[in-house]
Amino acid sequence: MNPPAPFPRQTPIFFDETPAEIEDREGFRVVLRYEHEGGGPFLIDLSHRPKWAIRDPHLSRIRPHGMVLPESPEACALENGFLLLRLTEYHAQLWQLFGPSPEMPNAFPYTDTTDGNTLLALMGQDIPALLEKAAPVDLWKPEQPLPRMVQGPVFDIPSILAVLEQSPTHSIALLACGRSYGQSMAENLIKTGEGWKMRPAGERVFTNYGSPAFR
């Protein structure tokens, strides 16, 4: 008897665009580039990137891969290709944005949430104006250091928003929400961004144009 074929993993997002370059990675079919991506702003599906929830009554003692979690709730930090987000006193999240998938403990206090959450990147000059129409939260405070994060609704969907880069010509924001909301979230963002000619883009736009400091 032949062994069963591996079950393919699916991101929660489907863009009605023609892939120009794809890669099979960790069971996911990752689109690296679409045809006709345009010049931005871009919406990029990063839901396949590894993500973990970390919960512990003494969270500050946890050192994922030797990294230090932010001390204060609603704070985040970039280190070694990871975004570390402190949501509450007892709950943090870890998003691996760049590099190969690392090995993480498969036990308390870590929970792999890769398949359970949508993660989108928004990149381009007009991202602040676009998100102001989608989210009733103030993300763009120039006096606050980067990266910064907030928790709040986007199109009335509970979400986490993180700003990685902010300038008059280029901004990068990440948006995470539950998997079941992913497709409607992406469609609403594309519709909201029509006036700025927002289009889907493959992962390579994010990895190529993300600031080298993120790595």
194 — pLDDT class (breaks 50, 70, 90): very high
pLDDT in tens, 27-44: 899 999 999 998 889 999
76 - beta bridge partners? Answer: 85
pTM of the model: 0.91
174 - beta bridge partners? Answer: 121, 162
Same domain, 73 and 99: yes
In a domain, 18, yes or no: no
Range of the domain at 201: 38-49+115-214
* End position of a domain, from candidates 92, 112, 132: 112
Span 130-154, mean pLDDT? 87
Same domain, 87 and 187: no
Same domain, 123 and 87: no
142 — pLDDT class (breaks 50, 70, 90): confident
Lowest mean pLDDT: which of 72-76, 100-104, 167-171, 190-194? 100-104
pLDDT at 188: 96
For residues 158 and 143, the answer to whether their CB atoms sit within 8 Å is no
pLDDT at 4: 47
